[in-house]
Structures are given as C-alpha cells and as structure tokens.
Structure 1
Amino acid sequence: MLIPCFIALMNLIGMFIMWYDKSQAIVGSRRVPEKRIFLIGFLGGAIGIWLGMNLFRHKTKHSLFVAGIPILVVINLFLFVLLALKV
C-alpha cells in the first residue's frame, strides 16, 4: 500500500511543480531547476510531469522535455508493472 501512495504523491508533486514553474515564468520569478524536474520524474513522477506539461502548456517546445519526459514515463510504467507483479 505504501508504494502506490508514494507513486501517486510523486505524480501530484510532478504536476504541481510544472504548474508552479509555469506561474513563476509568467511573473518572472525564480524558476524550478530542470534537474529537479527530471529528478522528480525519475523518482516516479514522470506521468504527473507529462500531464502538467500538456495541461499548463509548459516546456512543450523544449526538446529535452519533449523527448525526455515520455522516456521517463515509459520507464516509470515498466517499473510500476514490475512492482505490481512483484518480480
């Protein structure tokens, strides 16, 4: 039960971080470092980041994000399935 909660939390954080970074970009304030965004994606929040990218139209023109986040989504989904099957 702990692992699904962690995954859900990381995806909520991923979506929030994209909203927050977009709002900071609009007002010209301090931004979230790209390394931190990718770290959250690597730790299980890639789906939330991908949803946030598309929902908030943020970083959708950056090739690193357009290619990198979907790759992390696939890796995350693969690992989630492995965890669910307890392989």
Structure 2
Amino acid sequence: MQYIWIALLLINAAGFLLMHLDKQKARRHRRRISEATLFTVAALGGSLGVWAGIYAFRHKTLHRRFTWGVPLIFAAQLALAIWLLWP
C-alpha cells in the first residue's frame, strides 16, 4: 500500500510540473506539451497535481476541457478509490 501512495505522489508531482513547464513554454512561444499528454497524466492518477497546476500557474483556466475535465477525472478517481477501499 505504501508503494501506491508513493506512486500517486510522484504522478501528481509530475502533473504539477508538466503544467508549469507548459506555461513556461507558452510564454516563450516554444513547442508545447500536448493536451493529450496532460490528460493522460491526469487519468493515470495525477489529476490533483494537474488541477493544482491549473490554478497555481493560471494555465488553461479558460479552457473548459481543463476546468471541467480535470476535476471530473479527479471526482471519478476519488469515487473509485472510496468504492475499492470501503470495508
């Protein structure tokens, strides 16, 4: 169980970092990180990190895909975790 928590911490840190890197690339007009990559990281358990990155860096806040999609992914993951862990 400890490894699951470590993996979740790492994937969320990666999601947060990817949002920061994408914001920096956007400011410098460089090649960006694809939305598919950001959603994949969120779907693999990094939704909280991506969601935090959206608001910490004010990045993708005007994209409904992100402002609605990432919280919905998080809610689905939370519901699944509760369902799996409920005694």
Asked if Structure 1 and Structure 2 have the same fold, meaning a TM-score greater than 0.5 normalized by the shorter chain, the answer is yes
1:37 offset after TM fit, Å? 0.3
Instruction: Please name the residue that 2:10 is paired with.
Output: 9
Structure 2: runs of 5+ lacking an equivalent? none
| Structure 2: distance between partners of 1:58 and 1:18 | 7
Secondary structure of 2:32 counterpart: coil
- The 1-side partners of 2:86 and 2:8 are apart by 15
- Counterpart of 2:47, as a letter, is A
- Name the count of aligned residue pairs: 86
Q: What residue ranges of structure 1 are gaps of 5+ in the alignment?
A: none
Q: CA RMSD in A?
A: 1.4
| Residues in 2 aligned to 1:86 and 1:11: alpha-carbon distance in whole angstroms | 23
Q: Normalized against structure 2, the TM-score is what? A: 0.91
Partner of 1:68: 69
- Scaled by the length of structure 1, the TM-score of the pair is 0.91
Question: 2:81 matched to which residue of 1?
Answer: 80
